[in-house]
Amino acid sequence: MTTTPRMPGRVWIGWIKAVLFALCLLPALRLALGWQDDALGANPIETITRASGEWTLNFLLITLAVTPLRRLSGLNWLLRLRRMLGLFAFAYGCAHLATYLWLDQFFDWPAIAHDILKRPFITVGFAALVLMTPLALTSNAWSIRHLGGRRWQALHRSVYGIAILGVVHYWWLVKADVREPMLYAFALAWLLGMRAWWREQERRRQQSMPPPVPPFKGRVIRIVPTDK
């Protein structure tokens, strides 16, 4: 009988990462080819804007799904894919912003500034991308070492808020049919809710536990005051 190791070897992780990297590039590749073949419909700029925005949200949710998946499945090596997924969320977010600045507005800075200040959905989306930047910049071993694990983790927990901003951005953009943003909102609520639940469970477990008893051997000798 053979036993499966919990952790795939170094080489396996390398392969998995390479395949995942290629998969993550597919949406971008499809858009690039579609642009070249004029196959993105009557309003290709709108198609690219929408697709890059949706993939930013998709990757944010996929990244947030890593921890719950790891907990539920016990596949701890999944954690080693999280950084790449998070960076892809940032990359698609940058592509989304670039599409807006370049293809859509053609660097009309006054119009862009007006949009960011006056249109709540753009304000929120822009804020989300700005807030993602420090997370992307500190997604490396050097930053973890220099910030210290605890501070690094605190910083990266802001991804919860960023994901909420992202879903709000989508919700406010939609004219009337909020079905799709609602799906994202449900998925995000589920992912964040699981974390809140686990955290609460952990808190309760710690509370209900008796204070730790020091290990000792031998008999207990009571010291009773002698004066009655």
**Whether the Cβ atoms of residue 163 and residue 129 lie closer than 8 Å to each other:** no
42 vs 223, beta carbon nearer another protein: 42
43 in contact with another protein (CB under 8 A): yes
| The two three-digit tokens of residue 102, written as one number | 């370049």
Number of residues that bind another protein (CB under 8 A): 22
20 vs 45, beta carbon nearer another protein: 45
106 in contact with another protein (CB under 8 A): yes
Q: x/- binding map, residues 124-163, to another protein, per CB under 8 A?
A: ----------------------------------------
* Closest distance to another protein from the beta carbon of 174 (Å): 8
**Whether the Cβ atoms of residue 2 and residue 8 lie closer than 8 Å to each other:** no
- Total residues belonging to the chain: 228
* Closest distance to another protein from the beta carbon of 177 (Å): 4
Alpha-helix runs per DSSP H in the chain = 10-36, 44-73, 82-98, 109-118, 120-137, 141-147, 149-156, 159-173, 179-208
Residues forming contacts to another protein in the complex (CB under 8 A) are: 41-43, 45-46, 103-106, 108, 111, 114-115, 118-121, 173, 175-177, 179
